[in-house]
């Protein structure tokens, strides 16, 4: 199929936007907070991962569809409660985030741009559920907004042995800034990884569903350094494999969504964290 057109939304005038066919135009938007990711990864880790997924999704849709694709600026900041005690983390209350995200999406929908795909990779239930709430609100007003990339990762994380099989190493207790996210950064932004520290970071195991429900911050969890898993086993090859695995699944669901299918149940986090 002929590659479709795409533009950076922020670089367009309102008259250029107004000429677009609203029913064949989709807005692709990354989102993520600034949050600590251990002593070895940058506070922008979630943002960089989301932007990489969005970039790959855009490339897929360019080849697979005839839609016009608008790449919107990244939505920074959101709920990151467990990391508040660490410098560099910025956390927004869930209610405030939900209202803010609703207003962002509603601004597009009210001007006829109903189709919006929001991609984030911040494994924090309040953050994800705030985006879900925002999508549900604007969809009740005629929008076709979609969020939920994290659900694909959570399914592997919570199914016994699944993440270890995916990574090809012992990933029991992995959930934050471990081999998964460290591998992703090694694949795309290796200059931001403090690789000289990885070998000295001990393995940390954590029961996500149990331990995160009772903790007030990462300071109370594991060794207090703000990570779980075993970052020393991270490789760029594993990171590339992870992106390919999850983007392929995600892109297939997005295509179904653009074709009019209801894919909400496949992406909502309420399977694991009822809102």
The Cβ-side half-sphere exposure at 213, using a 13 Å CA radius, reads 7
Q: Of 28-32, 185-189, 221-225, where does mean pLDDT reach its minimum? A: 221-225
What are the residue boundaries of the structural domains of the chain, listed by start?
6-260
- DSSP H helices, 74-172, are 94-110, 125-139, 149-158, 162-167
Q: How confident is the model at residue 275 (pLDDT cuts 50, 70, 90)?
A: low
Percentage of the chain modeled with pLDDT above 90 = 82
Q: What is the pLDDT of residues 114-159, one digit of tens each?
A: 999 999 999 999 999 999 999 999 999 999 999 999 999 999 988 8
The predicted model gives 192-199 an average pLDDT of 98
Q: Contact at 8 Å (CB) between 198 and 231? A: yes
Q: Which residues contact 94 (CB under 8 A, 6 or more apart)?
A: 79, 126, 127, 129, 130
pTM of the model: 0.95
What confidence score (pLDDT) does residue 4 get?
58
DSSP 8-69: EGGGS-HHHHHTS-GGGEEEEEEEE----BTTTB-TTHHHHHHHHHHHHHHHHHHHH---EE
Q: Which CATH architecture has domain 6-260?
A: 3-Layer(aba) Sandwich (3.40)
76, β-bridge pairs: 32
Residue 3 has pLDDT above 60, yes or no: no
Question: How many degrees, rounded to 5, is the angle at CA 255 between CA 252 and CA 258?
Answer: 155
Please give the residue that has the higher pLDDT: either 240 or 1. 240
Q: Is the pLDDT of residue 31 over 90?
A: yes
């Amino acid at each position: 199929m002929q590659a479709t057109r795409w533009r950076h939304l922020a670089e367009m005038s309102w008259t250029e936007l107004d000429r677009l066919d609203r029913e064949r135009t989709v807005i692709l938007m990354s989102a993520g907070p600034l949050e600590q990711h251990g002593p070895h990864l940058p506070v922008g880790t979630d943002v960089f991962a989301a932007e990489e997924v969005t970039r790959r999704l855009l490339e897929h849709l360019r080849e697979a569809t005839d839609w016009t694709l608008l790449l919107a600026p990244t939505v920074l900041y959101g709920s990151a409660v467990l990391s508040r005690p660490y410098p560099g983390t910025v956390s927004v209350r869930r209610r405030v985030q939900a209202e803010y995200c609703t207003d962002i999406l509603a601004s597009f929908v009210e001007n006829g741009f109903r189709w919006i795909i929001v991609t984030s990779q911040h494994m924090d239930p309040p953050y994800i559920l705030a985006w879900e709430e925002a999508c549900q609100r604007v969809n009740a007003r005629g929008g076709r907004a979609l969020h939920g990339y994290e659900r694909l990762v959570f399914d592997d994380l919570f199914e016994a042995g699944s993440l270890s099989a995916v990574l090809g190493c012992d990933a029991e207790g992995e959930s934050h800034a471990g081999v998964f996210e460290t591998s992703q950064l090694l694949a795309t932004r290796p200059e931001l990884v403090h690789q000289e520290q990885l070998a000295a970071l001990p393995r940390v195991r954590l029961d996500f569903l149990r331990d995160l429900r009772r903790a007030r911050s990462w300071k109370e969890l594991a060794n207090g350094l703000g990570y779980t898993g075993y970052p020393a086993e991270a490789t760029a090859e594993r990171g590339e494999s992870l992106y390919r695995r999850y983007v392929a699944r995600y892109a297939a669901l997005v295509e179904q969504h653009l074709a009019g299918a209801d894919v909400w149940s496949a992406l909502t986090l309420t399977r694991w964290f009822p809102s």
